[in-house]
Amino acid sequence: MKNILLIGIGRFGRHIAMKLNDLNHQVMAVDIQEDRINAVLPYVTSAQIGDSTNEEFLSSLGVSSFDTCIVTIGESFQSSLETVSLLKELGAKKVIARASRGVQEKFLLHNGADEVVYPEKQLAAWTATRCSSEHILDYVELDKDYSIIELSIPSDWNGKTIIQLDIRKKYGINILGIRENGKLNMNIIPDMALSRDKSILVLGKQKAVQKCFHI
Structural domains in the chain, CATH included, are: 3-117 (3.40.50.720), 123-212 (3.30.70.1450)
The gap from C-alpha 172 to its chain's centroid, in whole angstroms, comes to 25
CA count, 13 A, side-chain hemisphere, 30: 24
Q: Can you give the pLDDT of all 215 residues of the chain as single tens digits? A: 899 999 999 988 999 999 999 999 999 999 999 999 999 999 999 999 999 999 999 999 999 999 999 999 987 899 999 999 999 999 999 999 998 877 888 899 888 899 988 877 677 776 776 666 677 888 777 777 888 888 888 888 888 888 888 888 888 888 888 888 888 888 888 888 888 888 888 898 888 888 887 77
Residue type (1 letter), 200: I
Residue 13 contacts residue 19 (beta carbons within 8 Å): no
Q: Is 99 exposed, middle or buried, given 0-12, 13-18 or 19+ CB atoms closer than 10 A?
A: buried
Instruction: Read off the pTM.
Output: 0.69
- For residue 29, the model assigns a pLDDT of 96
Tell me whether strands 68-71 and 174-180 are parallel, antiparallel or unpaired.
unpaired
Closest by CA to 105, choosing from 116, 95, 120, 121, is 116
User: What is the distance between the alpha carbons of residues 151 and 133, in angstroms, rounded to a whole number?
Assistant: 9
- For residue 182, the model assigns a pLDDT of 83
User: What is the distance between the alpha carbons of residues 83 and 71, in angstroms, rounded to a whole number?
Assistant: 8
Residues in the chain, how many? 215
Q: Which contiguous run of DSSP H or E holds residue 122?
A: helix 119-130
Tell me whether strands 115-117 and 95-98 are parallel, antiparallel or unpaired.
parallel
